[in-house]
Copies of this chain bind each other. A is one copy, B any other.
Amino acid sequence: MMLTLTDVYKSRCDNEAAIILRQDPVVYQGWKEVGPADLSQHQLARYAQKGFIVLKQLFSPEEVGRMLREVERLAHDPKLEGYDEVIAEPGGGEVRSVFMVHRLSPVLDRLARDIRLVNIARQILGSEVYIHQSRANRKPGFKGKEFYWHSDFETWHVEDGMPRMRAVSCSILLTDNDEHNGPLMIIPGSHMHYIRCVGETPGEHYKYSLRKQEYGVPDEASLRFLVDRGGIESMKAPAGSVVFFDCNAMHGSNSNITPRPRSNLFFVYNSVENTLGAPLHGLAPRPEFVATRSDFSPIEPVTPETVKSSA
C-alpha cells in the first residue's frame, strides 16, 4: 500500500494537534484456522471495543521461569554489551530493554512463534502475521521510571512507514503486575482515535526515544479527551498472563519505587498485508532492530509439547 499525500494518519507536520477518527477495523475478518488458545467471539468483541484484552496465566509458572531466566541472561550477556539492541535506563546503568530478542535468543524465538500467541494475532488481524518488533522490558524495583503516554502506531506510521492500523502488541508478564509496581496503563477506547502530534522528528530520533520520548508525544488536551471518555485501566495480572493490545491504543506507565521489578516480553505482530513503506517526512528508515524490514514472510508457528499433550 502506498502512502499518499492524503494520508489520514499524518502526524508531526505542523504545530497543531488533532484528533482523527480511526479509519481501519480493529478486528479484521477472514482468519479461519483454529489455534489452542483462540479468543471467543465475545472476547474478540470486547477487544474491538476496548482495544485490549488480558488473558490471565496463559503460560505456566515453569514456562515463565524459563522466559525470565533467558531475559536475565540476555541483559547480563557480556557478548551483547555495546549492542544497539541493549538499552540502558536514562542516566546509564541498569539495562532497561533488550530489542530483537527473538533473533538474539532461540528460546524467545520459539516463544514468539508459539501457536497460542500467533493464532490470536492472526484472529485479530485477519491474515498471516510477522514480527515487526520484539523486546524485553525490565522495569527494575526501587528506581523504574515512568513511560509517558503514547500510541505505538503513531511512531510506527511516521518513523517506520507502517501504512495502516493492522498490528497488535502482545505483552507477556514475567513478574506479577499489581497497582503498585508501575503496571501498563491503557486508556480503553483510545484506539478509536488517532492523536496527531505536533512538531517535527529529528534524524536518528530512535536513539533517544527508546530511552525517553520527546517527539510523537500526544498533547494534554487530547489525553484529557481520551481519559474523560474511557478512563484508565491498569493491566494488573499475575506472571504468565498475556495482554494483547491494539497498535493505536494509548498507553503508558508510572514509575516503580516498590522492591518488585516489573518485567515483560513484548512481541509486535503485524499483518503481512500491512508491511512497511517509506517513513514519513523523508526520514531515514530506523534500523532493523526496532523495525523489521529484511523479512516480511509469515511466521511459521510452533506448537509446544505441553500444548500438544494437553490438547
Q: Which A residues fall within an 8 A CB radius of B? A: 141-142, 145-146, 148-149, 179-180, 182, 185, 220, 223-224, 227, 232, 234, 252-260
Contacts and interface: CB of A to CB of B under 8 A. Distances in A.
Nearest to A224: B259
Nearest to A252: B257
Nearest to A180: B232
A149 B148 CA distance: 22
**Closest 7 A-B residue pairs measured CB to CB?**
A179-B179, A255-B255, A146-B255, A254-B254, A224-B259, A254-B255, A180-B232
B223 A259 contact: yes
A257 B254 contact: yes
State the majority secondary structure of interface residues on A. Answer: loop
A253 B258 CA distance: 9
B220 A142 contact: yes
A148 B259 contact: no
Nearest to A228: B259
* Chain B CB within 10 Å, residue with most, of A180, A223, A260: A180
22 contacts: A142-B220, A145-B255, A146-B255, A146-B257, A148-B257, A149-B257, A179-B179, A180-B185, A180-B232, A182-B254, A185-B258, A220-B259, A223-B259, A224-B259, A227-B260, A232-B258, A252-B257, A253-B257, A254-B254, A254-B255, A254-B256, A255-B255
